[in-house]
Amino acid sequence: MPSYYDQVSEAAEFIRVRVGRVPDIAVVLGSGLGDLADRVGGALTLAYVDIPNWPPSGVVGHAGKLVIGELAGRRVAVLSGRAHFYEGHSLLRSTFGIRVMGLLGVKTVILTNAAGGINTSFESGALMVIDDHINLFGTNPLIGPNEDRFGPRFPDMTDAYSKRLRAIAGAVAAERGIELAHGVYAALHGPSYETPAEIRFLRTIGADAVGMSTAPETIVARHMGIEVLALSCITNMAAGVLDAPLDHAEVMSTATRVKDRFIALVEGTIARL
């Protein structure tokens, strides 16, 4: 059976021979944020199921396709949807796309997600730059023998989310009149939403938002030396913040409502890179 590295290499080579000029920036789109992929010019679109070894994404709001072309004057790869740990994928599988991007030569990745707001100053529809994360998955995508061709055994996570990229996003938001918060993202594996008691705990330990992705991808990206910017769309307030039940339909509805601001922020940031 091919090794994990060989599987990633096969997928990267499959993409490379089809796109010609490979991208230097990748964007991963979270729930309901897939409209950005439609703005890629001269696009080559590959369904995840057609790329060797690439895990499918089965969640509503995740298109499950890779779009490569031009956006804001740069060559980009847009991952429209991601595979989640809670779908039954291992963390090796759910971070597979980031590994492929790294072997293609991508040096910058913009991760996006839909998140629940823990910080009570947030409102549904807010946009947040992730300054740091708290990984509460209970595991790590680097567990197991280290593959030195990917990166070092003990990667530093002091600057997991690039200060340079965060500053660029902040400047773009200010220029375009987009209100942009900063905060800490708590990553839990789901798929159940958190209880009110869990949200109180997360607020106590310093989390501003909570979601079910992003942290494992960031760990893998940093392992490969990829610079990371992560943006959360606060699509709902977390359990107990408001007296209302949580459901995925609200996530999708809010993401649709804020998509123009989100797209403007991402495109403006890419143009500055």
What SS3 string covers 53-73? CCCCCCCCCCCCEEEEEEECC
Closest CA to 7 of 92, 66, 76: 92
**Lowest mean per-residue pLDDT among 39-53, 67-81, 249-263:** 249-263
CATH code of the domain containing 73: 3.40.50.1580
Please name which of 183, 172, 170, 66 lies closest in space to residue 119, comparing C-alpha atoms: 183
Please report the pLDDT score of residue 230 as a whole number. Answer: 98
Tell me the catalytic residues. 31, 62, 84, 86-87, 114, 212-213, 236, 248
Residue 236, pLDDT score: 77
**Domain extent for 49:** 4-272
Strand pairing category for 126-135 and 227-237: antiparallel
Count of domains for the chain: 1
Q: Give percent of the chain above pLDDT 70.
A: 91
Which residue is associated with the tokens 């060797």? Answer: 52
CA dihedral 216→39→231→53, nearest 10 degrees, is 0
User: pLDDT confidence of 259, banded at 50, 70, 90?
Assistant: confident
pLDDT of 242: 53
Alpha-carbon dihedral of residues 225, 147, 186, 176, nearest 10 degrees? 30
pTM (2 d.p.): 0.93
Q: Is 157 left (phi over 0), alpha (psi -120 to 50) or beta?
A: alpha
For residue range 60-110, list pLDDT tens digits in order.
Answer: 555 789 999 999 999 999 999 899 999 999 999 999 999 999 999 999 999
